[in-house]
């Protein structure tokens, strides 16, 4: 019997949108005719049979009502998601229909229609149209409730009983895998009150909800609060065994209703303890708007975000220079779609160029042929352990790739050249950091030479969500049940978001005077161990350690990787000055003249061509201030070759020993 009750709604849910609208329209036609007939019958106190002149009224009523219902959107609403606004639309549509019908009867002077019939008709149509939709909504909800018994159900509380929280509670009530147990809100006037049959609790009742009601998830529905307040709330939630989810901020939510699809896990940005650095609008478009702009390494994490930001600032042309065919294809498609959404038409031309920065002729032809005016150099190898294992390629890409791009910019009379650098270039302990500092020295030296190109560079710390970032790794490890790997319990890092980093690069380039090294005031560094613990707890799990042997996920210490530091710095010295932007500083550091650096580069190039890793390291030690490598040369090819030679030597010794015995 129960199965048969659910057969009809299951069939309805399985139909396409047009079939559902057709069924609803047909039902409404029946309601309209039945309501009008009942209105006469109730008013006259007998079963009414319409006379000839009134019979036309029954034919006219549907032709009057249906266009009104369509125009006001009665058939656009999804019945199982029906809310207060949709019911208000029904009231307006039915009221307009009843009013116009009464006016038509009055103007046409149709006899035999009592005035009270119009009022009764309005009430009956309202009950029939609106009531049927509410019954259908409850019917579908009953089906979903039946399905809930067959699926694992998560009990959730919503932090924030405002408009966003209430709207989401309505939508979540229709999910078959979630039960909303109530609201948590800081507003004391709302405590003990009920909103849509859900009670509003103070924060102090959260423990009781977890223990007695079995709540496993909490949703932060507060898109308008500051990041600092959000971080405070997240800190309060850490001790509870809850999976924390959140809505995007108001700046991230597109216009329109908040939906369940907007719910996401707490982002790492919410744990940083500081608000993002706001861009200065007058600096953003200075080197971009109306100009021809090139981004090297356009398909990378920073490069692709730079391209998105640049496109919004409406350059004349945006040149995407990228070595990876797939990355270039993906970015080109994304930017063309973004181009259409922004409505730029043909105002901005996006040009994908496949090529490598250490292909001199390719980068030179691209700069000259496209008439580049501003160049953002993001192409680099940046993963510390991989670079340590492939040092010659890193030098070729990071140092000579920068040199060739800079020389191409000079030859093409590029106005502004901005290098994306790193905090690892300061007193480096690895080849990646040393190679990036060498790239900085190249640009500083070239800027001193007679040139129409203005060179500058921007240093920042770890970028959230970039390739090789620790955050995606932690998320993956937590999802797999652990262990979460941390190199050292004392390791700390500075963090910023990818959009923030891209905005810094753009603004710094606009403030450049030549040879500048810009750094960002990034606030306090983050302890990676504490970050891992927070991410575990906010995923609704417990850290397993000596104090909590029955916890869910263990943190495992793997030791510092080759060339890795416990902490990073942004400045070589303390000689810094302020800029137009309150959060951006200009570092004044030692510069090596081109006449000296040119000889160093020739020596380094010769060592790279010969795969002379000892000479490469020796040159870096002599040139890069503070370079203190933390490991021996790690080149994987040399190691394999050495290993093979050792095996061969061992085999020869064994063979000789065998002959001697014979």
- Say whether both 220 and 313 belong to one domain: no
What whole-number distance in Å separates Cα of residue 563 and Cα of residue 575?
26
Count of structural domains within the chain? 3
pLDDT at 570: 57
Q: What is the mean pLDDT of residues 216-245?
A: 78
Distance in angstroms between the alpha carbons of the first and the last residue of the chain:
92
Q: Give pLDDT, residue 113.
A: 79
Domain harbouring 184, CATH code: 3.40.50.720
**Residue at 647 is within a domain:** no
Q: Is the pLDDT of residue 554 over 80?
A: yes
CA–CA separation, 347 vs 312, rounded Å?
Answer: 11
Which pLDDT value is given to residue 496?
Answer: 74
Span 232-256, average pLDDT = 67
What are the pLDDT digits (tens) for 368-389?
999 999 999 999 998 888 888 8
Same structural domain for residues 309 and 171?
no
Whether residues 252 and 372 share a domain: the answer is: no
Domain residues for 482? 288-623
What pLDDT does residue 641 have?
A: 56
652 is a domain residue: no
Contacts 24+ apart (CB under 8 A), 82-88: 82/133, 82/134, 82/137, 83/167, 83/170, 86/133, 87/130, 87/133, 87/134
In this structure, are 246 and 294 located in the same domain?
no
Query: In this structure, what token pair is assigned to residue 407?
Result: 């020389």
Number of H helices, E strands in the chain: 23, 23
What is the reported pLDDT for 94?
83
Residue 483: asked if its preceding bond is cis (omega within 30°), the reply is yes
Is the pLDDT reported for residue 552 higher than 70? yes
Give yes or no: residues 505 and 570 share one domain.
yes
Assign 144 a pLDDT band (cuts: 50, 70, 90): very low
Neighbour-count burial of 251, counting CB atoms closer than 10 A to its CB (0-12 exposed, 13-18 middle, 19+ buried): exposed
Q: Which residues pair with 218 in a beta bridge?
A: 157, 244
Average pLDDT over residues 441-460: 88
DSSP per-residue codes, 557-604: E--PPTT--SS--S-SSS-EEE-SSTTEEEE------HHHHHHHHHHH
In a domain, 633, yes or no: no
Q: In this structure, how many other beta carbons lie within 10 angstroms of the beta carbon of residue 546?
A: 5
Q: How far is CA 588 from CA 317, 591, 646, in A?
A: 33, 9, 49
Are 337 and 443 contained in the same domain? yes
CB atoms within 10 A of CB 63: 8
The residue-averaged pLDDT of 431-444 equals 93
CA distance 435 to 394: 7
562-584: average pLDDT = 67
Instruction: Tell me the DSSP string of 94-122.
Output: HHHHHHHHHHHHHHHT-TT--THHHHHHH
Give the range among 183-197, 419-433, 459-473 with minimum mean pLDDT.
Answer: 459-473
Does residue 359 lie in a domain region? yes
Q: Is 577 part of any domain?
A: yes
* Tens digits of residue pLDDT in 331-368: 999 998 888 877 776 778 999 999 999 899 999 999 99
pLDDT interval class at 293 (50, 70, 90): very high
Is residue 16 in a domain?
A: yes
Question: Does residue 648 form part of some domain?
Answer: no
The pLDDT of 107-134, averaged and rounded, is 80
> Do 182 and 306 fall within a single domain?
no
Residue-averaged pLDDT of the chain: 79
> Residues 642-651: pLDDT tens digits?
555 555 555 4
Longest dimension (CA), the chain: 131
Answer whether residue 628 is part of any domain.
no
Whether residues 167 and 112 fall in one domain = no
pTM of the full structure = 0.63
If asked whether residues 410 and 494 sit together in one domain, one would say yes
Q: For position 397, what pLDDT does the model report?
A: 94
**Pair 116, 161 in one domain:** no
Domain identity same for 25 and 118: yes
- Do both 188 and 336 map to the same domain? no
pLDDT tens figures, 518-531 = 887 766 777 888 88
Cα distance between residue 38 and residue 59, in whole Å:
15
């Amino acid at each position: 019997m129960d199965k048969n009750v659910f057969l009809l709604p299951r069939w309805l849910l399985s139909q396409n949108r047009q079939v559902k609208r057709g069924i609803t329209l047909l039902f409404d036609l029946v309601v309209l005719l039945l309501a009008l007939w009942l209105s006469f019958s109730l008013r006259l106190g007998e079963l009414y049979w319409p006379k000839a002149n009134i019979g036309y009224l029954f034919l006219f009523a549907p032709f009057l009502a249906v266009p009104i219902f369509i125009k006001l959107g009665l058939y656009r609403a999804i019945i199982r998601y029906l809310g207060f606004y949709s019911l208000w639309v029904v009231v307006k549509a039915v009221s307009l229909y009843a009013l116009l019908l009464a006016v038509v009867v009055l103007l046409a002077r149709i006899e035999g229609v009592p005035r009270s019939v119009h009022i009764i008709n309005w009430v009956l149509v309202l009950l029939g149209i609106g009531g049927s939709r509410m019954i259908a909504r409850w019917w579908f909800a009953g089906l979903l409730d039946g399905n809930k018994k067959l699926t694992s159900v998560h009990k959730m509380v919503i932090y924030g009983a405002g408009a966003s929280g209430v709207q989401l509670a309505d939508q979540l009530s229709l999910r078959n895998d979630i039960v909303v147990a109530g609201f948590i809100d800081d507003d004391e006037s709302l405590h003990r009150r009920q909103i849509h049959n859900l009670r509003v609790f103070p924060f102090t009742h959260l423990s009781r909800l977890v223990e007695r009601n079995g709540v496993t998830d909490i949703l932060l529905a507060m898109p308008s609060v500051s990041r600092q307040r959000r971080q405070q709330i997240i800190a309060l939630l850490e001790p509870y065994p809850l999976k924390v989810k959140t809505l995007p901020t108001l700046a991230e939510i597109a216009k329109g209703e908040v939906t369940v699809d907007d719910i996401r896990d707490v982002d790492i940005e919410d744990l940083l303890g500081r608000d993002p650095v706001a861009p200065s609008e007058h600096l953003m478009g200075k080197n971009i708007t109306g100009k021809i702009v090139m981004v090297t390494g356009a398909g990378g994490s920073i490069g692709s975000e730079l391209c998105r930001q640049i496109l919004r600032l409406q350059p004349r042309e945006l040149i995407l220079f990228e070595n990876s065919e797939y990355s270039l294809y993906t970015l080109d498609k994304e930017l063309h779609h973004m181009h259409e959404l922004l409505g730029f038409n043909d105002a901005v031309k996006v040009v994908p160029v496949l090529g490598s920065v250490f292909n001199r002729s390719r980068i030179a032809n691209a700069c000259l042929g496209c008439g580049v005016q501003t160049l953002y150099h993001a192409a680099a190898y940046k993963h510390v352990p991989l670079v340590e294992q492939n040092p010659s390629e890193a030098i070729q890409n990071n140092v000579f790739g920068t040199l060739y791009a800079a020389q191409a910019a000079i030859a093409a009379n590029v106005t502004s050249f901005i290098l994306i650098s790193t905090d690892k270039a300061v007193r480096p302990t690895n080849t990646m950091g040393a190679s990036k500092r060498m790239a900085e020295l190249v640009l500083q030296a070239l800027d001193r030479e007679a040139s129409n190109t203005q060179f500058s560079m921007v240093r920042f710390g770890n970028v959230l969500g970039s390739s090789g970032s620790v955050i995606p790794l932690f998320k993956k490890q937590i999802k797999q049940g652990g262990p979460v790997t941390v190199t050292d319990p004392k390791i700390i890092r500075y963090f910023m978001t990818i959009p923030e980093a891209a905005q810094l690069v753009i603004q710094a380039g606009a403030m450049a005077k030549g040879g500048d090294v810009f750094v960002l005031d990034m606030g306090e560094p983050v302890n990676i161990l504490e970050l891992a613990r927070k991410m575990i707890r906010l995923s609704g799990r417990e850290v397993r350690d000596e104090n909590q042997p029955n916890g869910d996920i263990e943190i495992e210490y793997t030791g510092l990787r080759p060339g890795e530091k416990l902490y990073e710095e942004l400045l070589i010295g303390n000689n810094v000055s302020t800029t137009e932007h309150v959060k951006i500083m200009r570092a004044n550091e030692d510069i090596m003249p081109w006449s000296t650096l040119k000889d160093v580069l020739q020596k380094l190039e010769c060592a790279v061509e010969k795969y002379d890793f000892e000479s490469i390291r020796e040159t870096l030690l002599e040139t890069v201030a503070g370079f203190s490598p933390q490991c021996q040369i790690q080149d994987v090819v040399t190691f394999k070759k050495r290993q093979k030679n050792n095996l061969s030597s061992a085999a020869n010794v064994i063979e000789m020993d065998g002959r001697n015995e014979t």
